[in-house]
Amino acid sequence: MILNKKKNIATMLFSENAKIVLEKRYLRKGPDGKPIETIEEMFWRVAKSVAEIEARYKKSPYSPDDLAVKFYNLMVCKDFLPNSPTLMNAGTKLGQLAACFVLPVEDSMEGIFDAIKYAALIHKSGGGTGFSFSRLRPKNSRVGSTGGIASGPVSFLKIFNTATEQVKQGGTRRGANMGILRVDHPDILEFIRAKEKEGELNNFNLSVALTEEFMEAVLSDKTYSLIAPHTGEKKGELRARDVFDLLVKKAWQSGDPGIIFLDRINKDNPTPSQGEIESTNPCGEQPLLPYEACNLGSINLSNFYTEDTDEKIDFKRLKEVVHLCVRFLDNVIDLSKYPIDKIDKKVRLNRKIGLGIMGWADLLFKMGIPYNSEEAIKLAEKIMSFIEKESKAASIKLAEERGPFPAYEESIYKLRGEGPYRNATTTTIAPTGTLSIIAECSSGIEPVFSLCFYRHVMDGEKLLEVNRVFKETFEKFGLYSEELIEDILENGSIQHLDYIPDELKRIFVVAHDIEPMYHLKMQAAFQKYTDNAVSKTVNLPNSATIEDVKEIYLEAYKLGVKGVTVFRDGCKSSQVLNLKRDKGKESKVRQRPDVVYGFTQKVKTGLGTLYLTVNEVDGKPFEVFATIGKSGRSITAKAEAIGRLVSLALRSGVEVEEIVRQLKGIGGEHPVFQKKGLLLSIPDAVAWVLENHYMKKKDRNNSQMEPSLKRPVCPECGEEITFQEGCMLCPACGYTRC
């Protein structure tokens, strides 16, 4: 379909759910928070701004106006979407279009707090940041300039985490961070355990950078050396298998930390003369040099299915789209306003872009190929090798028009006789959480999480969302019915349904139907033909053992991936992959006695002073009254509502630990420090009071609490949250957190 002008037909191409996500998260807003542009105007704003760069290059075969129409059609027809900051900021005063940044953390107080300052500027502009803390001297080391004692990387991690809490990304989302430490750093054991208390470092993903030396020591059961980074001196040694086993155990318990294979990443560093790659972006798919940034985009593969060829894939059109996308992303580099001069310089030196895919699972559904099959693995390699080859060809053409990236002469490509390329890298497979909702396709290379679910729309309304390919196929076979949908809503899958033919069960698998090793094989297949790295989560059932995780980590090393993230169903109370809904359970609410006694706690919050009255019966909390001073009626009403609901839960027999678990850590727009620490919101303050009075003997983030296996909670709409591509994603409203 070709759309030459900004017409209402563009809006017609998007589902109601996609429109809601666009209006909530992407359209420009006025002072009242309401959109001041239409969906057509948003896509035209982006297309026109990116295409205007073409006028800078006299050898370009396109005029800016003609190219703007092509870019507009790419996005509106949902063949391709750029990363979120480009959709949000192209053609605006902010103008920061990149998603991924890596900042160095130097071993000095000035360097550390420069990194915090730079991260705040990046988060404010809509980007995510990765840091390696490996340069910092170990805990208890002597600081020569002051004679003091160093507090170590983990202590500074906490400062970075707190700073992130204070900055809301472009008014749309909270900043995400990656924290990395080399496995040979003397503080590695403390780092591995840094998130064992749930709620700690909640704005960070953590990964341990594994070296070849370490992995060889694991396989041969030897010790390896710990090296102080500020002196290069050996500070001890550890048995590699003990460290590896601890990593595996913590990943099994909570999903953190993940692992990256650092030497493998640097083996593919296209510009080694500029230094080593130390870190990745928050989801791990984009390794970058210090002060580097990368802008990403994804092609919707499900749109390239065709009945017109034996291959069932329109490779001719895919080639055309890849070449347009590479041109789009290269233009974005020139258009973007980077928040720091050092980043601007480094980005233009290497001109890295990351073209990836989404809609992979939907394409497999259309082709009748099971995700967990060797046929799917071979197809993944075929498609990604094609995209990699064509993206490089497109980059060569751009270099002919515009010149190669400035650092080409010192790159590995020059040494190999390749290129010259316009871009140091061209491919990355990134998370596509909200983008895939807009494009109405499956996320990245992940399998479908559920064949159907309820999507939150507005004012509490929910709409049933059914995978389109699944619906069309089952209607064709006369199997689609309300009974089928009700059966699937139990757990998102059809594998337990006796009346479904085995062949359809084989094709329409969801994340938890797939053996963990096939998750990993799929990641490895795409990694084989991807310059940077691949965002993918290996989903595990709750019954998975520590040995299962260990096997995945070892196999990941053997298969050649650059990192791996595992997530075991139900391992975190706030991140549960479970679609089952509570049915028919009646609660008996205790009646209130005529006289009750309790206490009132005064708590400072970012919205005013909260006075929380807790009344008790038989020494246990029975009801809660929350009032807040010097706030508007809306805030007062919300505080009262929280009190009433907590009271109802207490009088219905819900334990205080469970209430604290649900309320603790809920973020708000105005977190505030008080004498006991950082309070994020009114619900967080209520949790703090209850915990302080009734759970004194347990740490506030007690890791011994059993993880909840109840339905997960999205902080915005209360629906189920999935964990995929290294991020939490709410399919119901589009909320993401990486």
Residue 557: Cβ within 10 Å count: 18
Which H or E element spans position 374?
A: helix 374-402
Pick the closest to residue 429 from 83, 90, 23, 737 (CA basis).
Answer: 83
Catalytic residue list contains 190: no
Q: What residues does 614 pair with on adjacent strands?
A: 599, 624
Residue 8: Cβ within 10 Å count: 9
Which residues have C-beta within 8 Å of that of residue 402, sequence separation ≥ 6? 57, 59, 330, 422
Q: How far apart are CA 65 and CA 77, in angstroms?
A: 18
CA 193 to chain centre: 21
Catalytic residue list contains 441: no
**Active-site residue, selected from the candidate residues 200, 285, 440, 725:** 285
Q: In sequence order, which ranges of 561-681 are alpha helices (DSSP H)?
A: 633-651, 656-663
How far is residue 428 from each of residues 80, 380, 390, 398, 494, measured CA to CA in Å?
14, 14, 14, 19, 32
How far is residue 402 from each of residues 395, 398, 650, measured CA to CA in Å?
10, 6, 67
**Active-site residue, selected from the candidate residues 283, 294, 441, 727:** 283
Q: What residues does 565 pair with on adjacent strands?
A: 537
What are the two backbone dihedrals, phi and then psi, of residue 41, each rounded to the nearest 5 degrees? -65, -35
Q: How far apart are CA 503 and CA 498, in angstroms?
A: 12
Q: In sequence order, which ranges of 255-338 are alpha helices (DSSP H)?
A: 262-267, 315-335
SS3 assignment, position 313 = strand
Instruction: Calculate Rg over the CA atoms of the chain.
Output: 26
The token duo for 391 is: 């993206």
What are the two backbone dihedrals, phi and then psi, of residue 599, each rounded to the nearest 5 degrees? -145, 160
Q: Considering all CA atoms of the chain, what is the largest pairwise distance in Å, rounded to the nearest integer?
A: 87
Q: How far apart are CA 726 and CA 359, in angstroms?
A: 17
The token duo for 408 is: 């080409």
Q: How far apart are CA 560 and CA 260, in angstroms?
A: 11
**Active-site residue, selected from the candidate residues 281, 300, 303, 532:** 281
3-state secondary structure 500-550: CCHHHHHHCCCHHHCCHHHHHHHHHHHHCCCCCCECCEEEECCCCCHHHHH
For helices 39-52 and 315-335, the axis angle rounded to 10 degrees is 80
Quickly tell me which residue has 């990236």 as its tokens.
405
Are 590 and 651 in contact by the 8 Å Cβ rule? The answer is yes
Are 136 and 156 in contact by the 8 Å Cβ rule? The answer is yes
Q: How far apart are CA 584 and CA 69, in angstroms?
A: 54
Which residues have C-beta within 8 Å of that of residue 139, sequence separation ≥ 6? 150, 151, 152, 153, 154, 155, 186, 187, 190
Ramachandran region, residue 564 (left: φ > 0; alpha: ψ -120 to 50; beta: rest): beta
Catalytic residue list contains 283: yes
Residue numbers annotated as active site: 281, 283, 285
